[in-house]
Amino acid sequence: MKRAFIVFFGPPGSGKGTQAKMVAEELGLVQISTGELFRQHLAEQTPLGHQAQEYISRGALVPDEITIGMVRQRLQQPDCATGAIFDGFPRTGEQAAALDELLAELDAELCMVIDFTLPLEVSRARLLGRQEGRVDDRPEVIEKRLSDHAQVEASVMPHYRAKPGLVKTVNADRPIEAIFADVLALARSCLE
Ligand code: AMP
């Protein structure tokens, strides 16, 4: 069977995490959410969790070295053999370059980048309405994460747009099921 490695890219509140979970389940892929991995480390109070805590609670990016190391470890687990959906990673140019290298080490490459687009106002409203009790879902931190996303996009997307056909855009300002239908069809095409 073919392996599929796909990046889900989009602003906080775009629903890419929800979609990554649903698509991964449907296609038997692993979801690699760096935000989720960090939250697990925080909950388990690991050394990595301690290192990341200060950055996460103020809505800042965790340094590349820590983040890339964590993804490298995750990709070495056997369940990644069929492929993975990256959710919230990469967020810097260095992370994007590192991901290419990590996949090359596995003799693999990225099949697709799905770019979830939606108006800033919609992201903001969704984040303000979220009741997950996350340490970074406070209004002032939400504003910072939203405004930082423009920088994240400028750092990451040129790397991918340079490769013709790699980036597929999905309108994320729609009901979950409509987005899922599109995203699933796109992701499935990586396995054909
Ligand atoms: P998320 O769940 O993707 O919104 O991530 C929550 C927080 O985890 C972010 O605000 C960052 O502090 C940290 N984080 C998640 N992914 C990354 C990444 N790729 N690079 C640096 N920091 C990250």
Ligand 1 atom nearest 55 alpha carbon: 12
**Residue 76 forms part of a structural domain:** no
CB-based contact 23:187 (threshold 8 Å): yes
Mean pLDDT of 61-75: 97
> Cα(155) to centroid of ligand 1, in Å?
15
Report pLDDT for 1.
64
Note whether residue 11 is domain-resident: yes
Mean pLDDT of 121-138: 91
Q: Is 161 domain-assigned?
A: yes
Q: Report the CATH number that the domain containing residue 136 is assigned in CATH.
A: 3.40.50.300
Report the percent of the chain where pLDDT is more than 70: 99
Q: 66 in a domain, yes or no?
A: no
In a domain, 132, yes or no: yes
The total domain count for the chain is 1
Distance (Å) from CA 1 to ligand 1 centroid: 31
Distance CA 187, CA 182 (A): 9
Residue 183 near residue 175, CB atoms below 8 Å: no
In a domain, 42, yes or no: no
Best of 134, 136, 148, 153 to mutate for ligand 1, by most ligand atoms within 8 A of CB?
A: 136
Containing structural domain, residue 117: 4-32+81-191
pLDDT at 66 over 90: yes
pLDDT of residue 130: 86
